[in-house]
Amino acid sequence: MKKIVFLALFAALAGCMSGGEGTSNRVEGSKATIKRDGNMVTGTAGPAWTEEELRNNAFGVVCDRPKERIVKIDLARTADGGSTFSAECSGA
């Protein structure tokens, strides 16, 4: 009986988490693309990202490992309001 209850609960949770079209809270222009090679990170961020958020590593978007911080970052705004950046992470 416990297995059936567990499976039913698991199925219900999976259904809740799957989302669907139109149910996303994603902010338009918030996409970020990151490439990492050791401690060096390069990437792009949509126009929803502010320069301050990127410089302060908001949500761990640039340096994504626990206890990491940005030690150097170069940012440039693109014509569409997005950003390109290169950074160095430290502290992992």
**Cβ count near 44 (within 10 Å):** 15
Domain ranges for the chain, please list them: 27-90
Our measurement of the distance from residue 60's CA atom to the centroid of its chain's CA atoms, rounded to an integer in Å, reads: 7
Residues 66, 70, 73, 76: is their CA dihedral positive or negative? positive
The pTM for the full model equals: 0.67
Residue 57's closest CA among 44, 37, 73? Answer: 73
What is the per-residue pLDDT across 19-55, written as a single tens digit (0 to 9) for each? 444 445 678 889 999 999 999 999 999 999 999 999 9
E strands present in the chain: 32-37, 40-45, 69-77, 83-90
